[in-house]
Amino acid sequence: MNTEFSVENEYDLANLIYKIGIRMSLYQSLPSVDKILKTADGVTLITEFGHSAVVNICRQLIEQGRESIKNENKLPHFFTDFKYTIETIRNKLQQQQQVNIQSVYNLTGTVLHTNLGRALWSEVAQQAALTAMQQNVALEYDLDTGKRSHRDHYISELLGQLTGAEAACVVNNNAAAVLLMLATFAQGKEVIISRGELIEIGGAFRIPDIMQQAGCKLVEVGTTNRTHLSDYRNAINENTAFLMKVHSSNYQICGFTKSVSEQELVKLANEFNLPVITDLGSGALVDLSQYGLPSEPTVQEKWAQGVDLISFSGDKLLGGPQAGIIVGKKAWIDRLQSHPLKRALRCDKVILAGLEATLRLYLQPEKLSEKLTALYLLTQPVNELLAKAEQLKTALQEKLGTDYLLQIEDSSAQIGSGSQPLAIIPSVAVTISTEIPGKLTALLQRFKRLPQPIICRVEKEKIWLDLRSLASLALLLETVKQL
């Protein structure tokens, strides 16, 4: 007999009646939605969160209560006392307002961590963005003439000062920049590119795929490790739109290699009256070697070599918000600006304000490593990181006790976001190890359950808390108190 209770004798019958009585009593003890709402606490919740939200949460909890009585013959803990009920309702309502894209502490040692949002904005960029959020701004309005202007106008002038290029165009990321250039100048035509530069970036997003979406034909020349100028020359025909270079910032091919520089390519292209376009990727506007960092080709270098259009990211080495920036000859930029795709790919006022403020920092190069957050993190002296590590170790030791061994060790940080993947930046980390099975995994979970989670890396059976990528030690120490 497929019933919830089976009865075989008088004892079972008595037991059944008892269980039914208990269950009915439990059901009757569940508060009604109306009863909760009419209490002083219920009125306060409605005032704070609104009637509909409170009612929905109450209904959910009462349904959970019914399920608990049915399956376990008991009330859930939040119905054992009315103060727990109100507390649970409030917690649920607050959770509804919690943004899932929450702030975390980056202790991975990767400064421009793609999965953690890449470059942190400088203070001036944050303030400019906040102003754009809170107030009307002269986005497409010329204050001098009182007429409509172009939203890229201010940034185009700035980039002209910084790079020497004639004009600039801004879209929402560098992939969009490449797509726009291909769609504008190469639709139905051929684009010649070295086989060794057919890169794949994060999320299996590939240069050939972008070309396909833009409606142009990819012409691969050379081999994976060696491409000669003659390979480009032999591939040029009447249907060639332009020659393209892609900076392989997220990988390196070593050994028996050969590539063609932009300078050589421009000279060849001029023979056939063709443009050269470069996807520079990381977008360095200064020589990073002056800060003791690995050298990276700059936008200015490519422009000086005669490249017609150069695209790069805003949220990598540039240190600003996510954006795709194209600089180059004005006639070519004007065509990009008038393409229908530009409107679909353009940036909003907040991004443009943050980007402009970031670029203005480059007008004072001597102060750049102080004010540009990404560059500051990358160039912190090791002795400063060591002092921070000492403070963090002390704070953690007080919370973790003797089950864990904490040490300060030399670490190896990296730039991240595909920039200089083989370059190692000296750093310092607090490491945590234990001989108790499962304890390390449990601690990682505790880190992630903090109000502001701690994201780190695990190597050599240790947790590594690398200080190079940490934005604020003071805030981290306050969070550790809640561990």
- Looking at 118-219, list the stretches that DSSP marks H as alpha helix, in order from N- to C-terminal side: 123-134, 153-163, 174-185, 207-214
CA 469 → CA 93, 109, 259, 262, 414, distances in Å? 34, 5, 34, 34, 9
Domain boundary assignment for the chain = 7-97, 105-112+376-481, 123-371
Return the pLDDT at 178: 92
CATH architecture of the domain covering 105-112+376-481: Alpha-Beta Complex (3.90)
- b (16+ CB within 10 A) / e for 191-220: bbbbebbbbebeeeeebeebbeebebebbb
Per-residue pLDDT tens listing for the chain (483 residues): 444 555 555 556 555 555 666 778 888 889 999 999 999 999 999 999 999 999 999 999 999 999 998 888 888 888 888 999 999 999 999 999 988 899 999 999 999 999 999 999 999 999 999 999 999 999 999 998 999 999 999 999 999 999 999 999 999 999 999 999 999 999 999 999 998 877 765 555 677 788 888 888 989 998 878 889 999 999 999 999 999 998 875 555 665 667 888 999 999 999 999 999 999 988 899 999 999 998 889 999 999 999 999 999 999 999 999 999 999 999 999 999 999 999 999 999 999 999 999 999 999 999 999 999 999 999 999 999 999 999 999 999 999 989 999 999 999 999 987 666 667 899 999 999 999 999 999 999 999 999 999 999 999 999 999 999 999 999 999 999 998
Q: What is the pLDDT at residue 2?
A: 44
Would you state the pLDDT for residue 3? 46
Distance CA 198, CA 220 (A): 8
53 to each of 30, 46, 61, how far by Cα in Å?
A: 20, 8, 13
Matching CATH topology for 105-112+376-481 and 123-371? no
Buried-exposed string 164-188: b where 16+ CB fall within 10 A, e elsewhere: ebbbbbbbbbbbbbbbbbbbbbbee
Burial status of residue 377 (CB atoms within 10 A of its CB: 0-12, 13-18, 19 or more): buried
Q: Distance (Å, rounded) from C-alpha 167 to C-alpha 359? A: 15
Class of domain 123-371: alpha beta
Q: How far apart are CA 439 and CA 433, in angstroms?
A: 9
Which DSSP string do the residues of 404-440 spell out, in sequence order?
A: SEEEEEEEEEB-BTTBSTT--EEEEEEEEE-SSTTHH
Q: What is the pTM of this model?
A: 0.87
Tell me the C-alpha distance between 413 and 38, whole Å.
57
Integer Cα distance of 181 and 167 in angstroms:
14
DSSP 238: T
Contacts of 345 (CB under 8 A, 6+ apart): 171, 172, 176, 179, 180, 324
CA angle 17, 18, 21 (to 5 degrees): 85
